[in-house]
């Protein structure tokens, strides 16, 4: 069994938050264990909760189109969320839920060891760019050690607002150059992850 499958089994047993009781399926994440690029969204919605897979509803279809615009298929990337259970009524994740779930995302990053991490939306951005505003930093990248971090709007927000849609589509088109650059950075030993610890 791969390390990711073992991790998924552990995540499926997690009952730290109240919302774990109400989930249909836990949504750990999916994609290639050796992916160079990892996309991190917010939380599962109704469709994801039904299927146990991230980004499979309308926002997911849009994400697939965005990936296709740069020649990537979802099987070539890794897709995860900040929290792994659906918050009831699609509300925003609570700070306690983000805190409880953080260790799973940290383990995923350790296993996949991506060269580039793309945050989708505010909650994911806050873990890697604390204190920043998405309207200011979307479409900008920061290299820390051997990893390039890149902030984008959330596809669900962009679906419904024309100005954000133009921004997310333009931001997506910047990824291939950044990813090519990230691939030229020499490999470092995987480090234990601790999120929300980045300084400016």
- Quick one: 61 or 146, whose CB is closer to ligand URA? 61
Q: How far is the CB of 54 from ligand URA (least distance, A)?
A: 4
- Chosen residue from 45, 52, 87, 93 binding ligand URA by CB under 6 A: 45
The site that binds ligand URA (CB under 6 A) totals a number of residues, namely 13
Q: Which of residues 153-192 bind ligand URA (CB under 6 A)?
A: 156
- Quick one: 92 or 191, whose CB is closer to ligand URA? 92
Give the 3-state DSSP-derived string for 66-124, with helices as H, strands as E and coil as C.
HHHHCCCCHHHCEEEECCCCCCHHHCCCCHHHHHHHHHHHHHHHHHHCCCEEEEECHHH
> Considering the rule CB under 6 A, would residue 43 count as an interface residue with ligand URA?
yes
d(CA 21, CA 23): 6
> Considering the rule CB under 6 A, would residue 41 count as an interface residue with ligand URA?
yes
Helix axes 95-112, 3-13, angle to 10 degrees: 170
Nearest to 164 by CA among 117, 118, 122: 122
> Considering the rule CB under 6 A, would residue 81 count as an interface residue with ligand URA?
yes
Which stretches of the chain bind ligand URA, using CB under 6 A? Answer: 41-45, 48, 54-55, 57, 59-60, 81, 156
């Amino acid at each position: 069994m791969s390390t990711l499958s073992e991790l998924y089994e552990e995540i499926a047993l997690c009952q730290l938050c109240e919302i774990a009781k109400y989930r249909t399926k836990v949504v750990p994440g999916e994609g290639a264990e050796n992916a160079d690029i990892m996309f991190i969204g917010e939380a599962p919605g109704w469709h994801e909760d039904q299927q146990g897979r991230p980004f499979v509803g309308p926002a997911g279809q849009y994400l697939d189109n965005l990936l296709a615009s740069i020649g990537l298929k979802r099987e070539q990337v890794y897709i995860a969320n900040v929290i792994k259970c659906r918050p009831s009524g699609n509300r925003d994740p609570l700070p306690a839920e983000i805190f409880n779930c953080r260790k799973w995302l940290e383990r995923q990053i350790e296993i996949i060891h991506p060269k580039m991490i793309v945050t989708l939306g505010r909650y994911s951005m806050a873990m890697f760019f604390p204190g920043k505003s998405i309207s200011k930093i979307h479409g900008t990248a920061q290299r820390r050690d051997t990893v390039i971090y890149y902030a984008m709007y959330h596809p669900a927000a962009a679906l419904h607002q024309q100005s954000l849609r133009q921004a997310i589509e333009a931001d997506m088109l910047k990824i291939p150059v950044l990813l090519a650059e990230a691939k030229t950075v020499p490999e470092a030993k995987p480090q234990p992850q601790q999120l929300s610890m980045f300084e400016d």
